[in-house]
Amino acid sequence: MTFRSLFVRIFVLSLNLAAIASSQELNYLVYDRDQIPNSVYRSRRDNIVEELGKDAVAIFYSAPERTRNADTDYRYRQDDNFYYLTGFNEPNAILLLSGRGMAVADLRDSTRIDTVKEILFVQSRNPRFEQWTGRRFGPEGAMKLLGVQHALGIEKFKSMFPGVVPIAAMKFLYVANLAKETTGRISELLQPVRSSIDELKTNGSQIEVKDPSSIIKKYRVIKSPEEIALISRAAHISALAHRQAMMSCKPGMAEYELQAVYEYTFSKLGSEYPAYPCIVGSAENSVILHYDTNRRTIADGDIVLADCAAEYHNYASDVTRTFPANGKFSVPQRKVYQIVLDAQNSAIGMMKPGVAWADVTAKADSVLENGLYTLGIIKEKNKREFRRFYPHGLGHAVGLDVHDVGSAVMMPGIIYTIEPGIYIPDNIQGIDPQYFNLGIRIEDDILITSDGHKILSEEVPREIEQIEALMKQKGIGTLPVE
């Protein structure tokens, strides 16, 4: 049978309910009570279906499982766009959306045919596997607990995919880039999609294959109240972790001990993951932007740059603080720190709806450049000189990605980081050695509101005197464990 005839025929989908556990058994799969409601995810899918129109089908798939080494996998993290549409954290799942609709068998009466616009294919329940890797939702759980219109076992996707895409009326097939690095079982499950795309190209079909990411990202720019609540929770957890790290830091500690304070606090307060590998860089490591080895012993007089933040229910925060290991800023540390803080304050002060991100960036750049010039670290004001000590941008949007979808103009509901920094290594001639190996970065998460902004991570101090006062207290990292 040809690919075209497969797509034209009406294919009725069925579901074997005999192997699926009762609805009562599924309740234990949802432990957290502050998850985004199913109605929000349904509304998101409805928006995408409306965007697609009746002449398109879209395919979204879960992130692959990835091997760390031998038979050990990395801890699983869902694909952002897939999660945005489903709220589903299991691997090996595929979502089909169709504006025209797809014919399926009614679950209560198999002789009745329904038309649905969404089908979620998920791993079926299997007690033997679940004993090893955890309980699964299964198709019934996906419908009951996620509110998906129709769900089937993922094993049915290969045979049913040709029948659910009405090629006779289709102009667009939306599918995210099927990258070669998409490995594991999800890669095998997507093989029918690859074959379909190859056949469309071979046959010179007029159907256009497009990536749906740009459609979804358009909706992801403005955060919903539910998303703002989760990001705020992540930022709150991060702020409390930074407070504990400041109170715990003492000369003679290893960088990884402070990392442990952060990650303990994250888990203690309900964060499932760090939003990114924790950066704890002291002295010469403070000038490495994405340093994450965290093995050096912190010495008296060192500066410590800690860029560590929590993720909560798949939503990231991004918070950085820089503080003196012994609890007291030296004169050079104080001077450079104040420049960075002034730059951050000047940028945050501009943040409100309608302001261009480029203007906020230019303001912070100006403060940093003038400060470096005043200290004699740069001899003339030009971008080339200035960027030697500030090689990154002012910030970025935060959401499901730690570097999320943003906008050139600020709008209510966008959350940005503001993270100016100055980094002075010990290998640049003409610099006063008192500034060598001095890296300062201060970063906060800022929500744009209808009339201005709100600092979501404000619970951790930024002012020099406040940091020094906090560091006189004892944190959880000072307690012995041996």
Residues 345, 368: Cα–Cα separation, whole Å: 12
| Range(s) of the chain covered by CATH 3.90.230.10 | 222-478
Determine whether 54 is exposed, middle or buried from the number of CB atoms within 10 Å of its CB (0-12, 13-18, 19+). middle
Calpha distance 440→115 (Å, rounded):
58
* CATH C-level class of 222-478: alpha beta
Print pLDDT tens along the chain (482 aa).
343 433 333 333 333 333 333 444 566 678 999 999 999 999 999 999 999 998 999 999 999 999 999 999 999 999 999 999 999 999 999 999 998 888 887 666 667 778 899 999 999 999 999 999 999 999 999 999 999 999 999 999 998 888 766 555 689 999 988 766 677 899 999 999 988 888 887 887 888 999 999 999 999 999 999 999 999 999 999 999 999 999 999 999 999 999 999 999 999 999 999 999 999 999 999 999 999 999 999 999 999 999 999 999 999 999 999 999 999 999 999 999 999 999 999 999 999 999 999 999 999 999 999 999 999 999 999 989 999 999 999 999 999 999 999 999 999 999 999 999 999 999 999 999 999 999 999 999 999 999 999 999 999 999 999 999 999 999 999 999 88
The second-level CATH assignment, the architecture, of 3-219 is 3-Layer(aba) Sandwich (3.40)
Catalytic-labelled residue, pool 419, 435, 444, 445: 419
Active site residue 392: yes
Q: Is 435 a catalytic residue?
A: no
* Identified catalytic residue from 90, 257, 302, 318: 318
| CATH 3.40.350.10 placement within the chain | 3-219
> DSSP readout, 74-89?
PPP---HHHHHHH---
pLDDT of residue 482: 82
| Pairwise CA distance, residues 157 & 163, whole Å | 10
Catalytic one among 262, 315, 337, 423? 423
Given 441, 444, 453, 462, the catalytic residue: 441
Instruction: Kindly name the residue from 443, 444, 445, 453 that is annotated as catalytic.
Output: 443
Kindly provide the residue ranges of all beta strands, DSSP E only, lying in 123-171, ordered along the sequence.
Answer: 151-153
Q: DSSP code of 189?
A: H
Report the alpha-carbon distance of residue 461 to residue 466 in Å, rounded: 6
Predicted pLDDT at 205: 83
Which residues are within 8 A (CB) of 192 and not within 5 positions of it... i.e. 6 or more apart? 157, 158, 161, 162
Instruction: Mark whether 313 is an active-site residue.
Output: no
Is 419 an annotated catalytic residue?
yes
Q: How many CA atoms lie within 13 A of 250 on its CB side?
A: 10
Rg of the chain over all Cα atoms, to the nearest angstrom = 26
CA atoms within 13 A of residue 387's CA, in its CB half-sphere? 7
CA-to-CA separations, 126 to 131, 133, 145, 152, in angstroms, rounded: 9, 10, 18, 14
Q: Are 354 and 311 in contact (CB under 8 A)?
A: no
Catalytic position from the list 185, 392, 459, 468: 392
pTM: 0.93
Check: CB of residue 364 under 8 Å from CB of residue 465. Answer: no
290 is known as an active-site residue = yes
Other CB atoms within 10 Å distance of the CB of residue 367:
19
Q: Is 423 tagged catalytic?
A: yes
* Residue 307 falls in the annotated catalytic set: yes
**Of the listed 140, 307, 365, 444, which one is catalytic?**
307
Q: What is the pLDDT of residue 102?
A: 87
